[in-house]
Amino acid sequence: MTAPVTTDSEFDEVPATDDEGGRAPARRYGLLVVAAAVVVGLLLGYAGGLLTPALTRPGDNSAEAGFARDMTTHHNQAVAMGLLAFGQGQDAEVRQVGVDIATGQQGEIGTMQTWLRSWNLDPTGGQPPMAWMPGGAELVKDGLMPGMATPEEMAKLKAASGREFDVMFLNMMIRHHIGGVHMIDGILDEGHDDDVRAVAQVMKNTQQNDLANLNAALKRLGVTP
């Protein structure tokens, strides 16, 4: 299992054109600002993770370690999708929610990776995805954890534009967040580290708030979720 901390390079370059002329340079500049914000979020996440006490450290096969590794992978895809939304979204709200998700989840990646370092554990581990969660292995489809998009779906999202992109992104992110919340519920049920559970609860609250906004945006675009 792999848990890369940064997003795939194939999503680094996104189209900077839209229906309104003369905005491409501004959008490219905006992408640089967002990239910087993502890096800052990651560093803040690392700093936050360092504040977690290490009186009792979760073991390599613990639910905490499995969650940190798997949710890092899960979050990485959300960051990639969010950056695409910021660069390609036609709707202003879609672009905003994209950058909010990208920066927020990158910060959480920093926190989770810092946990693993503080526990002296490998960032990737040797267990299959979702092995830490009862019945988790059954939720993995074609190597993908709950809610994750396939490589083909990510390619279609990258190739889309205009309203088609906006609707596709919203639907994919709704599914992604629902899967993420299910995984968070798993660590809330199985975890024993109070600090991990506290951060997981904040993640759940944030994603549930995102889901409300994503569904509202979809309805505003005239699409039934």
pLDDT of residue 46: 57
**CATH entry, 23-220, from 1.20.1260.10, 3.30.70.1230, 3.30.830.10, 1.10.3720.10:** 1.20.1260.10
| Domain boundaries, given as residue ranges, for the chain | 23-220
Q: What pLDDT digit, counting tens, does each position of 39-63 carry? A: 555 565 555 545 544 457 999 999 9
Model confidence band, residue 15 (pLDDT cutoffs 50, 70, 90)? very low
- Return the minimum-mean-pLDDT range out of 6-15, 64-73, 152-161, 197-206: 6-15
Mean per-residue pLDDT for 7-32?
A: 49
pLDDT at residue 202 is higher than 50:
yes
pLDDT of residue 54: 47
Q: What is the pTM of this model?
A: 0.77
Q: What pLDDT digit, counting tens, does each position of 167-190 carry? A: 999 999 999 999 999 999 999 999
Q: What pLDDT digit, counting tens, does each position of 80-118 carry? A: 999 999 999 999 999 999 999 999 999 999 999 999 999
Q: What is the 3-state secondary structure (H, E, C) of the chain?
A: CCCCCCCCHHHCCCCCCCCCCCCHHHHHHHHHHHHHHHHHHHHHHHHHHHCCCCCCCCCCCCHHHHHHHHHHHHHHHHHHHHHHHHHHCCCHHHHHHHHHHHHHHHHHHHHHHHHHHHCCCCCCCCCCCCCCCCCHHHHCECCECCCCCCHHHHHHHHHCCHHHHHHHHHHHHHHHHHHHHHHHHHHHHHCCCHHHHHHHHHHHHHHHHHHHHHHHHHHHCCCCC
Q: What pLDDT digit, counting tens, does each position of 135-172 carry? A: 999 999 999 999 999 999 999 999 999 999 999 999 99
